[in-house]
Amino acid sequence: MSNIFTSEDRKQYSLSELEKYNGIDDECFEGSTDLVEINIPTSIEWIGDNCFKECTRLTCVNIPTSVTSIGNGCFKGCSSLVTINIPTSISEIKYESLSGCTSLVYFKIPISITSIENGCFKNCFKLKKINIPTSIKNW
């Protein structure tokens, strides 16, 4: 993985540097065109709002069970995203989390999810199949 810049301070980081943190702040990688595949380190417990928003080259995201919260709009506008693995440690899919993921065809919702907020799959035009477990109480 090449180095990337955060949208806030344009400071250069590599994704491997995340291993020394327990969370990824709001808008941290927003708009990065260097990200193609992300394997979130197991040290990460939360991912902030709009963290990977508009990362248009991002195709695959693997999130470990150490992550218990994914922020609003986290992957919004990731137009190349094809694969995202949401762990069973997550209980809700927040507002517009996957909105505009126009390459997403299939999404499996873990049984741990009890709530899907508004606009989660808005403008996911290629989405053909969503497995919705009976655990969903609000959507």
Residue 11 confidence (pLDDT): 52
Residue 6 near residue 29 (C-beta atoms within 8 A): yes
Coil, helix or strand for 103? coil
Alpha-carbon distances, residue 58 vs 24, 32, 55, 112 (angstroms): 17, 9, 6, 25
Domains of the chain plus CATH, in order, are 1-134 (3.80.10.10)
Q: What is the pTM of this model?
A: 0.86
Average pLDDT over residues 86-113: 95
In this predicted model, what pLDDT tens digit does every residue of 28-81 receive, in sequence order?
889 988 889 988 989 889 999 999 999 999 999 999 999 999 999 999 999 999
Residue 5 confidence (pLDDT): 46
Instruction: Record the tokens describing residue 112, joined without a space.
Output: 């741990």
Sign of the C-alpha dihedral computed for residues 72, 48, 39 and 100 taken in this order: positive
